[in-house]
Amino acid sequence: MKSSEVFQEDEQLMLSTYRRLPLVIERGEGSWVFDPEGKRYLDCVAGLAVNIMGYGYQPLAEAVKEGAGLLLHASNLYHTVPQLSLAKSLCELSGLSRVFFNNSGAEANEVALKAARFYGRRKYGSRYKFLAFHRSFHGRTLLTISVTGQEKFHQDLEPLPEGILFARLNDIQSVEKVIDKEVCAIIVEPVQGEGGVYPAEKGFLRDVRALCDERDILLIFDEVQCGMGRTGSFFAFQHYEVTPDLVTLAKGLGGGLPIGAVLFGEKPLSVSRKGDQGSTFGGNPLACRAAKVMVEAVSTPDILQGVRSKGEMLQEGFAALKNRYSSIITQVRGVGLMWGVQVPNRAADIVQGMLERGVLVNAANPDTVRILPPLTITQDELRHFLKVFSAQLEAIVV
């Protein structure tokens, strides 16, 4: 099918909920994707932090091919080895105790929030509230959207579940001000992604951990976007040196196959009962085989060190661009290979312009261009990205 035909049929057939860019992706290779007409694009979005080992990663393709022939699905009525093998790797890497699998980031956060509710109710009877942060994003289910600190997602969904409090990231006083005796958990993205790439400060997360310890409140890190090597450590909590009670993963974990995971520390486990959580597809053998390959690949020193050094290179590149185009770029935020460039009201135009120049970037919001390349992007490819970004800024500067 030609691109123009795809655009036309999409208009007629699909629920028009996505603001899609005019690009049909037919295949991918390394850090590049190709449209049906053969034009190639350097992908600095990586399927929203999913294709983290790049496209066509052979060990992944082979594991999926082999796994598809062996066993696609078994249900959680029975045991399967791929699930166990993935759980073992995640427990070893995290130091946390147990794992629950499901299919997406939102579902993983639902499970973590429910686990915290169980803790609050079973240990204290009266604790049920969640504290979350402004600008956060935790998913599209009714509960995860309710702990998402962006009003635009709440419109026309009211009444939302009761007992959700919001504080400001990197402002411990705002947390102390709103927290009360009925809070069972604090949920935070160590690096806020959808809200525009806002990294937490180390001291802030340490203070939040101390507050949670003092009051026996569970700390949930949503690492759906910033985990899996994105910060230069396998888990973002390792980058921050703060251990949460529950960690959620999805996106890059399956490298393209849908899988979510929740890692449990001892506190939520202490109240856990049979039947608390469940999922038909969760931890299906095919997704677990894929995820095992991804975990093995991303946890290597080569990949993690590469993310850190390429992150430094991007930071320098962005600093130079901010100097040169100070009328367009007002702030640059990020860590590792997760960056947000603040360009008030110009993100959509820049994304479109970059697309025409053969580079994919994303508008996290109208003010922020977000860059989430595959962790395997090369330094040369990053130099190409910076060159094209610079040309795009040059074209719109007045």
Ligand X SMILES: Cc1ncc(COP(=O)(O)O)c(C=O)c1O
Q: According to CB under 6 A, which one of 110, 222, 245, 381 is a site residue for ligand X?
A: 222
Find the shortest distance in angstroms from Cβ 105 to ligand X: 2
Stretch in the footprint of ligand X (CB under 6 A) among 18-26, 177-185, 203-211, 220-228: 220-228
Q: According to CB under 6 A, which one of 205, 208, 224, 259 is a site residue for ligand X?
A: 224
Query: Considering beta carbons, is residue 194 or 207 the nearer one to ligand X?
Result: 194
Kindly report the backbone phi and psi dihedral angles of residue 150, in degrees, each rounded to the nearest multiple of 5, phi listed first. -135, 115
Q: Say what the alpha-carbon torsion angle 129, 133, 135, 137 is, to the nearest 10 degrees.
A: -50
Q: How far is CA 393 from the centre of its chain?
A: 27
193 interacts with ligand X by CB under 6 A: yes
CA pair distance 5, 268, nearest whole angstrom: 51
SS3 107: helix
Stretch in the footprint of ligand X (CB under 6 A) among 34-42, 91-99, 204-212, 221-229: 221-229
Q: Which amino acid type is present at position 245?
A: D
Q: Please state at what angle helix 379-396 crosses helix 301-324, rounded to 10 degrees.
A: 20
Site for ligand X in 64-123 (CB under 6 A): 104-106, 109
Find the shortest distance in angstroms from Cβ 260 to ligand X: 7
Find the shortest distance in angstroms from Cβ 197 to ligand X: 11
Find the shortest distance in angstroms from Cβ 106 to ligand X: 3
Rounded alpha-carbon distances, angstroms, from residue 304 to 52, 132, 183: 12, 29, 36
Closest CA to 69 of 346, 238, 286, 380: 286
The total number of residues shown for the chain amounts to 398
Site for ligand X in 134-153 (CB under 6 A): 137-139
Query: Considering beta carbons, is residue 221 or 325 the nearer one to ligand X?
Result: 221
User: Per residue in 253-276, is it b (16+ CB within 10 Å) or e — as a string?
Assistant: bbbbbbbbbbbbbebbeeebeeee
Query: Cβ contacts of residue 302 below 8 Å, gap of 6+?
Result: none
Site for ligand X in 252-281 (CB under 6 A): none
CA angle 89, 118, 156 (to 5 degrees): 100
Find the shortest distance in angstroms from Cβ 386 to ligand X: 25
289 interacts with ligand X by CB under 6 A: no
194 interacts with ligand X by CB under 6 A: yes
Query: Considering beta carbons, is residue 328 or 338 the nearer one to ligand X?
Result: 338
Find the shortest distance in angstroms from Cβ 146 to ligand X: 13
Give the interface size with ligand X as a residue count (CB under 6 A): 14
**Could you list the residues that contact ligand X (CB under 6 A)?**
104-106, 109, 137-139, 189, 193-194, 222, 224-225, 250
